[in-house]
Amino acid sequence: MKRITSIESNVKQAGRIDFATPCVFLAGPHEAGKSAFIDSLWFAYTMTHPSIGSAPADLLTLAPNHSAPMYVNVSYDDGNQLRTEIADGDTSSAKKPKQRTPFDVRGSLIHTDILNLLAESAPEMRRQIMRRFGGDEVALLSNPPVGLADSDLQIWNYCYALTNGPPEERAAGLIKEVRKLKLSRSVESASGKAWQGVLSGPVPSIPLTDEEVQRLRVASNELHEVVAAWEVQPRKHQLAVQIAELSSHHDCRPDLDAAQKQLEKATADYAQMQTLSALAEVAGTVCPLCQTEGKGVDALRFLSGAREALPRYFKALEDAKAAYAVAQAAVTTWMAERTWIHAYEQQCAAFPVEPSISVDNAKATLAEIDRRLSQSENARKLKQSRDQATTELEKLRVEFEACQRVEKLVSQVLTTAVTTTAGRLSAELNKYLPDGMQAGVQLYDNEREVCRIGLTDGKTVIPAKGCLSGKQIGNLIVAFAAVIGRGMEHSVLILDDDILGHFREPKAMWDLYTKCAKLVQDGMVSNVIACGTWEAVPFSRSIATGNISAMPDGWSIIDVTKVKRC
């Protein structure tokens, strides 16, 4: 297997350590920097930190001055190197740390498995077990359970589409989605209560039949015509009065004829007087001698009188013209009135006759018809709402029951898969446990997830943390490491303070370290890294004399207080 020979890092100013043996113990007092190398391995292998996350800006809180670059170099005995770093310019949240490695390092830290499996983190335990030990059972979690009806299969497909990740994670997610859907389809959901509220509301009266509604609408139309007829009667009466008034006006056409004749006579008289006046002027100039003669004098006097009368005839002509114009205007007005009378008579003819029903009775009847139609329409809508509420509640009930069936079937499949896989894990662990110890797995009945892994007496499972002795925990850890690391190209077992804190006797620690060294010798794990105070080193009193045999064979001790920091 590929083994680590050195770690160089500036995470928490870690520094560089070289591995004299595959198994090393990082010793030093509290706050001496032991965890810096554990965090370095976390970052190197997973590009994350268990308590910080994976965002570069957050990870840089572990770097010197909280700024890039931050790096870890892990060297191996085959000459290859794993380098993980956050370089300058790679601190945006959209970017990830860069990792250069000659092999797949995913799952190489057995430390994560042991902590999660023994810390009773239910979902994490189930995922770890299914991911590492699931066989054909994992395939069951990717397919719909056998026996689903079409409606149930639709629910399964709909909820499964909302999940993501590998099958062992999607199965648990599927149950959660089905439960959410079941809750939304319950009559106790918001929509269910809304439909129940409709049914608990007022009971509708019986609506009118279609024939009754049609008859009322016909009567309503007729009454609207009556009301409209009454509304035009005042206008009709007004037009009749106007027609009577216009019809009483005098016919002015004879007056126009008389005025025209008078105008013609005045015109002729004026023309004659103009002629006589002209003759008088000529006669007075040409025949002055005639003024002394008898008849000549009379003629001149006549002509002279015509000249003097000319203005009077002119005034008579002007008066005749004015009278003619007045008569002509009166005839024009009288003819226009004849046109108005004709138009008014046409309008009156188009108006309906005066109804026999009074307008008050018509309006009262219309109001009653409208009230009955409105009441019938409200009853119809309320009936439709109640019918829809009944239908929707039935749909909710059917879908709720389908969700129950899907949840039950998926839970059964998941329980079977996890139970079978957990049984396989228990069998594998038992191969590496000493006689008298037997691994066990206990499931939550309601969540169908592994919640406890430990040792069993055949009836109950005793959890590792807080309930088992250091010797029992040591054997369980070694068994886990052997089972999980078996067949991997590279794996690292980390024993930190959380694990070593369960050991109170030096002999139990010595046995754990011895078995870990045997794991490395047998090729089950590549390296074992333990860290703790000097009290976690068996027979640590001999350290003062420089006796490095304080650890079993295959182990070496690194005093972190002597490591040069970055």
Is the pLDDT at 119 greater than 70? The verdict is no
pLDDT (tens digit per residue) in 228-278: 888 888 888 888 888 888 888 888 889 889 989 999 998 998 888 888 777
Angstrom CA distances, 8 to 38, 70, 81, 83, stand at 12, 11, 11, 10
Is the pLDDT at 141 greater than 80? The verdict is no
Give residue 548's pLDDT: 45
Average per-residue pLDDT for the chain = 81
Select, from the ranges 202-206, 208-212, 409-413, the one with the highest average predicted confidence (pLDDT).
Answer: 208-212
Q: How far is residue 345's CA from residue 348's CA, in Å, rounded to a whole number?
A: 5
Give residue 541's pLDDT: 44
Is the pLDDT at 319 greater than 80? The verdict is yes
What would the mean pLDDT of 447-452 be, rounded to a whole number? 56
Residue with tokens 């035009």: 232
Give residue 117's pLDDT: 57
Strand duo 98-100 + 461-463: pairing: unpaired
Given pLDDT bands bounded at 50, 70 and 90, which one contains residue 417? confident
Is the pLDDT at 542 greater than 70? The verdict is no
Q: Compute φ and ψ for 27, nearest 5 degrees.
A: -110, 145
Share of the chain above pLDDT 90, in %: 15
Is the pLDDT at 501 greater than 90? The verdict is no
One-letter amino acid for residue 403 of the chain: C
Q: How far is residue 73's CA from residue 16's CA, in Å, rounded to a whole number?
A: 9
What would the mean pLDDT of 201-228 be, rounded to a whole number? 85
Are the C-beta atoms of 35 and 560 separated by less than 8 Å?
no
pLDDT (tens digit per residue) in 41-97: 988 888 888 788 888 888 888 888 888 789 999 999 999 899 999 887 665 555 677
Are the C-beta atoms of 468 and 452 separated by less than 8 Å?
no
Give residue 325's pLDDT: 92
Q: How far is residue 463's CA from residue 460's CA, in Å, rounded to a whole number?
A: 10
Are the C-beta atoms of 513 and 21 separated by less than 8 Å?
no
**Cα distance between the two ends of the chain:** 30
Task: Give the residue, 460 or 155, on which the prediction is more confident.
Answer: 155
Please tell me whether the overall predicted TM-score, pTM, comes out greater than 0.85 for this model: no
Chain centre distance of CA 322: 90
Are the C-beta atoms of 2 and 489 separated by less than 8 Å?
yes
In terms of Cα–Cα distance, which of 159, 154, 158 is closest to 174? 159
Given pLDDT bands bounded at 50, 70 and 90, which one contains residue 284? low
Q: How far is residue 19's CA from residue 552's CA, in Å, rounded to a whole number?
A: 15
Q: Compute φ and ψ for 346, nearest 5 degrees.
A: -65, -45
Share of the chain above pLDDT 70, in %: 85
Give residue 303's pLDDT: 67
Given pLDDT bands bounded at 50, 70 and 90, which one contains residue 21? very high
Q: In what order do the strands lie in the sheet with 461-463?
A: 439-443, 450-456, 461-463
Residue 213 buriedness (CB in 10 A; 0-12 / 13-18 / 19+): middle
CB within 8 A of 256, min separation 6: which ones?
324, 327, 328, 330, 331
CB within 8 A of 62, min separation 6: which ones?
11, 12, 39, 43, 49, 52, 70
Given pLDDT bands bounded at 50, 70 and 90, which one contains residue 391? very high
